[in-house]
Amino acid sequence: MTDTTVISTEGEAGFGDYVALLKPRVMSLVVFTALVGLLVAPVPVHPVVGFAAILFIAIGGGASGALNMWWDADIDRIMTRTQKRPIPSGKVGADEALALGLALSGFSVVMLGLAANVAAGALLAFTIFFYVVIYTMWLKRWTPQNIVIGGAAGAFPPMIGWAVSTGGISVESVLMFLLTFMWTPPHFWALALFMKSDYNAAGVPMLTVTHGHDATRRHILVYTVLLAPVGLALAFTSIGGPATLLAAVVLNLMFLHGAWTIFRRSTEQALADGYAAEKRVFRFSLLYLFAMFGALLVDATLRGLGWDVMPWL
């Protein structure tokens, strides 16, 4: 198949197509975790600097999404889930996406460095590099552990937010990193269980394709178990409190219950109800991360109001 047959232009690119190139829905959670990292840090940030920093992190995240779509256009064309993306649908040219991704990456890194500090700018640059080069160009098509290692890219944003406020790294920001890092495998593999045929067709070595569904179910359970102590540990740090503790207990129990349910099912059972449990766990994973970071924000607010939010310390 030649490029000319694949790129069937279905019309001029509109503003919406360029926005779609930035993966806005996924990046919304990335930006939220960065915002929480920034707000819960012990050093207050001027609201204008904070707002600008979050904007530049969002632009950097979007730029990395555009570069990911530029590199992955060949496999996005094959998978039904991704066929309508701006490049495979012919709305935006691959070279345009590359130019936009590079320009916005450079812009966001420099501007974050200037608006906040060098540490935050450097962390953003490293995150973009990690997602685009380490995950997208290298790990994704090479190893079924792609998600585990590559997931680190999506886990850096709260550390970037923390660095905006403090100019550095701490136990708290590393734990926020670990929360997203441990969360990413069950988040993605639950989805991969009901997406198998697509990755298979595209030749991406996702765990579901290389090791099968039973191994994937085991991996989901293991990572959900490993994830549980991270949220609990956060509750007992200087940024924790009762909301984080409550959220960690309730959400981890629910996530563990979902992972256990998936683990106990056979492929026949999953097929019979259209992967209902797997779909539930995937949706729940989004709520989990949003609510865990939301709980940190609640504790920070309580602390700001002068409440003794950590009577156990």
Ligand X SMILES: CC(C)=CCC/C(C)=C/CC/C(C)=C/COP(=O)(O)OP(=O)(O)O
List contacts with ligand X (CB under 6 A): 23, 26, 30, 57, 60-61, 64, 68, 72, 82, 124, 127-128, 131, 140, 153-154, 157
Residue 180 interacts with ligand HEM (CB under 6 A)? yes
Residue at token pair 């890194």: 109
Q: List the Cα angle 234/236/238 in 5-degree steps.
A: 85
C-alpha 132, offset from chain centre: 13
Closer Cβ to ligand X, 121 or 240, answer by number: 121
151 lies in the site for ligand HEM, by CB under 6 A: yes
Structure tokens given for 80: 């039904």
Among 13, 26, 246, 291, binds ligand HEM (CB under 6 A): 26
Structure tokens at 122: 């450097």
Give the N- to C-terminal CA distance of the chain in Å, as an integer. 65
The answer to whether residue 184 forms part of the interface with ligand HEM (CB under 6 A) is yes
Applying CB under 6 A, the site for ligand HEM has a residue count of 18
Measured from the CB atom, the residue of 163 and 182 that comes closer to ligand HEM is: 182
Secondary structure, 3-state, 163-231: HHHHCCCCHHHHHHHHHHHHHHHHHHHHHHHCCHHHHHHHCCCCHHHHCHHHHHHHHHHHHHHHHHHHH
**Taking CB within 5 to 8 Å according to partner kind, which of ligand HEM, ligand X, none is near residue 194?**
none
Site for ligand HEM, residues 50 to 89, rule: CB under 6 A = 81
Tell me which residues in 118-147 interact with ligand HEM (CB under 6 A): 147
User: Cβ neighbours of residue 15 under 8 Å, at least 6 residues apart?
Assistant: none
Binding site for ligand HEM (CB under 6 A): 25-26, 28-30, 33, 81, 147, 150-151, 154, 180, 184, 187-188, 191, 286, 289
